[in-house]
Amino acid sequence: MPLPRKRLIDASKPGWVHCINRCVRRAFLAGDGKEHRKQWIEQRLRELSGVYACEIAAYAVMSNHLHVVVRMLPEVTAEWSAEEVTRRWLAVFGTRVLKGADGQVSAETIAGYAANAEWVAERRVRLGNLSWFMRSLAEPIAVRANREDGCTGRFWEGRFTSVPLLDQAALVACMAYVDLNPIRAQVADRPERSAETGVRERIRARQRHRIGQKAQRLATPAQQKQALRRAGLVSPPPHAEAGLWLAPLSRCLVAGASSSQGWSVDEYLKLVDITGRMIAKGKKGAIPPELAPILQRLDLTVEDWLATVTGWRSMLGSALGHASSRSLEAARRGLGWVRNRCPLFGKKSLAA
């Protein structure tokens, strides 16, 4: 029997979670001429990342399902004032009447709601809650799509699936798996052409940084300014993740991991790029020698890696991670083992 989500995710130290939401009957409700809905979902995800106490490591919006790798940060909401909690909540759930003609909630309205301590306390908890985050993401899309189609009924297939990622290998592997979804589905042939994915956002941020570096090497300030203007930049981005709304890779760490276990932008993009090229070519030919050393950092084999990223639903299970991580998780839940379908980490793990 599936565990309730409150037991599945450790509330004392919530970590990274792989969430999957599928369209009802697996129908292509964001494809087959309705691809613009993918942009709706991506934009909504971006908006919510600036409202909820969360970090998003990766995402992929497909024609009939959605992947998000997210970490909620409920401890951050404790630092927000009552007015900040109110402002954020009403930005998501405020009605047109509350927001007014300009789409903004007045200071008087915010102050009125903020004065209700019980109301604020409840919203503070919700703004750090995964279920409320996913509800805020899915519900408006369903309403908007039904309005466009002139119909009623479900858009999403029941509740979303959530899989805790227990260690650094599970997190990085899941991020790459999600980012490579369009390539595996043959709707893109390389990461930079994978629309509505986190990896394309990371690539674009890196490209902006490289353009800024090249502009700075030009002879005169006028030439530098012109080069930046052509790229749509006002000034050179200070680093390869400047302006990125996703969590920087230095923050994509599981609880207890040290900063030395983090990945640079180039390291992660290299892993995704090499793997993506192999998938696009049907794994024919020799395995690029660059891939093995990258995976050694995660204690993963090339063969298991390819079996995972080329497979379907291979990032599912009760939790993902190496055997030692799954043993600790099984003990925390009071179980003999935790279910795991991922080829990278074996079938199951006994509790310690």
Task: Determine the longest span between alpha carbons in the chain, in angstroms.
Answer: 68
Count of CB atoms within 10 A of residue 147's CB? 10
CATH number of domain containing 32: 3.30.70.1290
Residue the block writes with tokens 């998501």: 92
The per-residue pLDDT for 1 is: 47
The per-residue pLDDT for 303 is: 84
Strand order, beta sheet including 16-22: 54-61, 65-72, 16-22, 161-164
The per-residue pLDDT for 35 is: 94
Q: Which residues pair with residue 18 across a beta bridge?
A: 69, 163
Q: Indicate the SS3 state at residue 129.
A: coil
The per-residue pLDDT for 6 is: 58
CA dist., res. 264 & res. 108, Å (int): 45
* 21 in a structural domain: yes
DSSP assignment, residue 51? T
* 187 in a structural domain: no
Return the sign of the alpha-carbon dihedral for residues 89, 91, 95, 99: positive
CA dist., res. 58 & res. 198, Å (int): 5
Q: What are phi and psi of 197, to 5 degrees?
A: -135, 155
Give the gyration radius of the chain's Cα atoms: 22
> What is the residue-level pLDDT of the chain in tens, covering all 352 positions?
455 655 566 666 679 999 999 999 889 989 889 999 999 999 999 999 999 999 999 999 999 999 999 999 999 999 999 999 999 999 999 877 677 777 788 889 999 999 999 999 999 999 999 999 999 999 999 999 999 999 999 999 988 999 999 999 999 999 999 999 999 888 888 888 899 999 999 999 999 999 999 988 887 888 888 888 888 888 889 999 999 999 999 999 998 777 777 788 999 999 999 998 888 776 545 667 888 888 888 888 888 888 888 877 788 888 899 888 888 888 888 888 887 778 888 654 444 3
* 143 in a structural domain: yes
Question: 144: domain range?
Answer: 1-80+127-164
The per-residue pLDDT for 58 is: 98
In Å, what is the CA distance from 313 to each residue of 18, 98, 184, 316? 12, 42, 12, 6
* 64 in a structural domain: yes
CA dist., res. 46 & res. 54, Å (int): 11
CA dist., res. 261 & res. 244, Å (int): 21
* 19 in a structural domain: yes
In Å, what is the CA distance from 290 to each residue of 261, 262, 277, 316? 19, 19, 13, 27
User: Which amino acid is present at 46?
Assistant: R
* 8 in a structural domain: yes
State the total domains in the chain: 1
Whether the predicted model's global pTM rises above the 0.95 cut = no
CA dist., res. 335 & res. 206, Å (int): 44
3-state secondary structure the chain: CCCCHHHHCCCCCCCEEEEEEEEHHHCCCCCCCCCHHHHHHHHHHHHHHCCCCEEEEEEEECCCEEEEEEEECHHHHCCCCHHHHHHHHHHHHCCHHHHCCCCCCCHHHHHHHHCCHHHHHHHHHHCCCHHHHHHHHHHHHHHHHHHHHCCCCCCECCCCEEEEECCHHHHHHHHHHHHCHHHHCCCCCCHHHCCCEHHHHHHHHHHHHHHHHHHHCCCCHHHHHHHHHHCCCCCCCCCCCCCCCCCCHHHCCCCCCCHHHCCCHHHHHHHHHHHHHHHHCCCCCCCCCCHHHHHHCCCCCHHHHHHHHCCCCCCCECCECCHHHHHHHHHHHCCCEEEECCCCCCCEEECC
Do residues 92 and 48 lie in contact, with contact meaning Cβ atoms separated by under 8 Å?
Answer: yes
* 149 in a structural domain: yes
DSSP assignment, residue 24? G
